[in-house]
Chains A and B, each alone.
Chain A
Amino acid sequence: MADEPLVLGIETSCDETGVGIVRGTTLLADAVATSVEEHGRFGGVVPEIASRAHLEAMVPTVQRALDQAGIKASDLDGIAVTAGPGLAGALLVGVSAAKAYAYALDKPLYGVNHLASHICVDQLEHGRLPEPTMALLVSGGHSSLLLTSDITSDVRPLGSTIDDAAGEAFDKVARVLGLGFPGGPVIDRYAAEGDPAAIRFPRGLSGPRDPAYDFSFSGLKTAVARWIEARRRAGEEVPVRDVAASFQEAVTDVLTRKAVRACLDQGVEHLMIGGGVAANSRLRAMAQERCERAGIELRVPRMKLCTDNGAMVAALGSEMVWRNRRPSAFDLSADSSLPVTETHVPAAPVSHDELHRMSE
């Protein structure tokens, strides 16, 4: 449909400079520049390195997205940008650039929530989100269960991690095993050749009295480290593949169990999984199996859309335009701890008093 909103989205909340272009629920461009290799030797994302890389990559990545989409910037119906949550300095580069583009091009600006964008990106893969949809977001920065009935205005947090994010646990276990950073892909690879039942690692917060929808991965990470060290001290070889598979099994077991339980408890028939950890092959397989058994329809976008990217921001921005949501003002802030309930940051409505003052 040609009259669906054409929106460019900018994402700079962590170490990926993402620029996507979307028309309605159709993906036209998804350009990403990453500084992940510069962070590798530090074992985690270094905020200042990420911010510097965002500034360098911003304009070239926007141009690449425009070229990919085969459109002119003047054709756009709006500019969307991640306003938070994320790394403050990194967010600010994207927000500053997005404001300037919106201003120069005379387009409305939409500061949107990073987590809501992770959910909305599924529209590019599977069409409009069913309402309601349960979302399991798992990455190096977040692990949350969210329930949404309207992705532009209503996202309700049911639970989240009380310590480490799931992706962080992958990074830390990879580091203990000496496999490098980031940990997710490499653990997945080793695990494919290991025995997931070799070692029974603990399932965090899975007791009968524990909060049903919250996660904890810190204890698991420590248990894996202790297990490995005990082996090393005894002079035994560490079975890297079995450790990777057993650790991965523990993480995905808890994630999928809680997500399916949340769907059943809340009477929700659709589960979407997003975030970088959604690229994990075992998580996808286990979720598919458990959802089928529970009669839940699973929606997982292709891997490239699960990690941070600009297309997800554009997808939510397009939805904002489609549903006539109020744009942001040019004094939009980057908010590193933007609550998930704030799906976007609309301009403050002009009050009655202000109208009087303006007319004086």
Chain B
Amino acid sequence: MLLLAFDTATPAVTAALLDTDGGVVLAAEDQIDARRHGELLLPAVDRVLRTAGVGKEQLGALVVGVGPGPYTGLRVGLATAAALGHALGIPVHGVCTLDGIAHAARLAGLQGPFTAATDARRKEVYWASYDAAGARVDGPHVDRPAEVAERLGQVPAVGAGALLYPEVFRDVPAGMPEHQSAAALASYAAAELAAGRPLLAPTPLYLRRPDAEVPKNYKTVLPA
């Protein structure tokens, strides 16, 4: 089956096409631009399919990163996936974005346990931790880096969120992925599906409530 995967929950705009028979990545594209997910995603999907010589009607399923991640970018991927799935009549699976990064770290040779972290802005990180077998055992959460260290002690950490706070995440192994890659996301999803484990619903993991100020009680205009 042909699996199209993409993720816009981090500064990366990343798309990949995987043939689940044999687990071959037929084409992939990664761009890092935190501000232009909306402009970049669909052209990237189009190029990936063209490079692979695959028509969209041949796709068997979609996989989309459901975050956590900055909301505006995150929703670009989810809205795109939902509409593509609806129009093409194929299933849309969600994968936690941190699971994709963790999978890429293991492919790069990292043994667990370790933590994957991305930038949550406002001096916080999105993070999850993984055991020796690569299973997510804690998270995803959003916290201040110091709180994460307090909770986990010093374990190896990967991802842009770990690189951003070296004073807290002191063990960041070299050669590990910094950003999300849809190729890793796709191969993780294919492995999970093959193992008969269900993936997530394609709905966002926001982890924070929307910012919304309830206006104070009506203030008088006349001087008191």
Cβ-defined partner of A330 (8 Å) among B43, B72, B78, B88: B43
The answer to whether A51 and B42 touch (CB under 8 A), given A59-B83, A226-B222, is no
Task: Report Cα–Cα, A52/B212, bound state, in Å.
Answer: 13
**In chain B, what residue has the closest Cβ to A100?**
B83
Which A residues between 10 and 61 are near B, CB-CB below 8 angstroms? 41-44, 46, 48-49, 51-52, 54-56, 58-59
Contacts of B188 in A (CB 8 A): none
Cβ-defined partner of A334 (8 Å) among B38, B87, B212: B38
Q: Does A233 contact B (CB under 8 A)?
A: yes
By secondary structure, the A interface counts as helix
Contacts of B221 in A (CB 8 A): 222, 225-226, 229
Q: Does A230 contact B (CB under 8 A)?
A: yes
The answer to whether A55 and B204 touch (CB under 8 A), given A88-B72, A103-B84, A104-B87, is yes
Range, interface on chain A: 35 or more
Contacts of A48 in B (CB 8 A): 71, 210-212
Range, interface on chain B: 35 or more
Q: Does B131 contact A (CB under 8 A)?
A: no
The reply to whether A97 and B80 form a contact with Cβ atoms under 8 Å apart is yes
User: Within the complex, what minimum Cβ distance (angstroms) separates A122 from chain B?
Assistant: 29
Contacts of A42 in B (CB 8 A): 212-215
Q: Does A96 contact B (CB under 8 A)?
A: yes
The answer to whether A97 and B72 touch (CB under 8 A), given A46-B210, A330-B42, is no
Task: Report Cα–Cα, A175/B220, bound state, in Å.
Answer: 12
Residue from B87, B203, B213 having most chain A Cβ neighbours under 10 A: B87
Chain A residues near B (Cβ < 8 Å): 41-44, 46, 48-49, 51-52, 54-56, 58-59, 62-63, 73, 88-89, 92-101, 103-105, 175-176, 178, 222, 225-226, 229-230, 233, 330-334
Chain B residues near A (Cβ < 8 Å): 38-43, 45-46, 56, 71-72, 75-76, 78-84, 86-88, 203-204, 206, 210-215, 218, 220-222
**24 examples of A-B residue contacts, CB within 8 angstroms:** A46-B211, A49-B212, A51-B75, A52-B210, A55-B82, A55-B204, A89-B72, A92-B76, A92-B79, A93-B75, A96-B75, A96-B79, A97-B80, A100-B79, A100-B82, A100-B83, A100-B84, A105-B87, A175-B218, A229-B220, A229-B221, A229-B222, A331-B39, A331-B40
